[in-house]
């Protein structure tokens, strides 16, 4: 049994045929929008109507509140331009001091503990701790299953690099040759 998805314009309710007739529009701000941005699907013709109705606007932040939170105001560009009476607004904007956007707050990245069953054996550039090496050696099948399920490379004790990294006995010349033949072809 198959499934068929029918897209309908959220604006007009008309059926949209084909993926080329579906346009995703994200509504960022609207007086009736209370929970944050939303997306709607509409037709290309309805997008043209949005483009035709678009206004040239100026969006400004006013920093005059006592609590330090700026408020945002949108007004037509012509209304905003008319407020510059001494010098044309285009010149005012060209010569105004640049504002640098605030640096994005860096999320405190959690340090991954490769000495746990959950992360042991995952590829990483750091040094392999004795805890990680022991987990990999003692629970190789479990670690390799988790790595395979995640689409990551598996650990092969016959690989000289893996043997050294995780403390497996050094592979014999025959095992190394078999490993090279298996990975080459």
- Domain boundaries in the chain? 8-54, 55-98, 130-184
**In angstroms, rounded to a whole number, what is the distance separating the alpha carbons of residues 35 and 50?**
23
Show the beta-strand stretches assigned E in the chain.
7-8, 15-16, 23-27, 38-42, 57-62, 71-76
Tokens of 153: 């490379």
pLDDT value of position 16: 87
> Contact, 55 vs 31, CB < 8 A?
no
**Cα 27-8-47 angle, rounded to 5 deg:** 45
Digitized pLDDT (tens) for each residue of the chain, 185 residues in all? 888 888 899 999 999 887 678 899 999 888 888 888 889 999 999 999 999 999 999 999 888 867 778 888 999 999 999 999 999 999 999 999 988 876 665 555 668 889 998 999 999 988 999 999 999 999 999 999 999 998 899 999 988 999 999 999 887 766 556 656 666 65
Look up the pTM and report it: 0.45
């Amino acid at each position: 049994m198959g499934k068929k998805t029918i897209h309908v314009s959220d604006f007009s309710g008309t059926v949209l045929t084909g993926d080329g007739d579906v346009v995703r529009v994200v509504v960022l701000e609207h007086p009736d929008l209370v929970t944050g941005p939303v997306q709607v699907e509409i037709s290309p013709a309805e997008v043209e109507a949005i483009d035709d109705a678009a206004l040239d606007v100026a969006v400004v932040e006013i920093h005059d509140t006592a609590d330090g939170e700026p408020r945002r105001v949108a007004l037509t560009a012509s209304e905003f331009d008319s407020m510059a009476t001494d010098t044309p607004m285009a010149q005012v904007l060209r010569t105004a001091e640049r504002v640098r956007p605030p640096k994005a707050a860096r999320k405190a990245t959690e340090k991954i503990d490769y000495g746990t069953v959950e992360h042991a054996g995952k590829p990483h550039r750091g040094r392999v701790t004795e805890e990680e090496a022991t987990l990999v050696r003692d629970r190789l099948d479990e670690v390799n299953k988790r790595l395979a399920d995640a689409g990551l490379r598996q650990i092969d004790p016959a690989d000289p690099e893996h043997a050294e990294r995780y403390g497996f006995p050094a592979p014999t010349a025959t095992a190394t040759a078999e490993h090279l033949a298996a990975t080459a072809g």
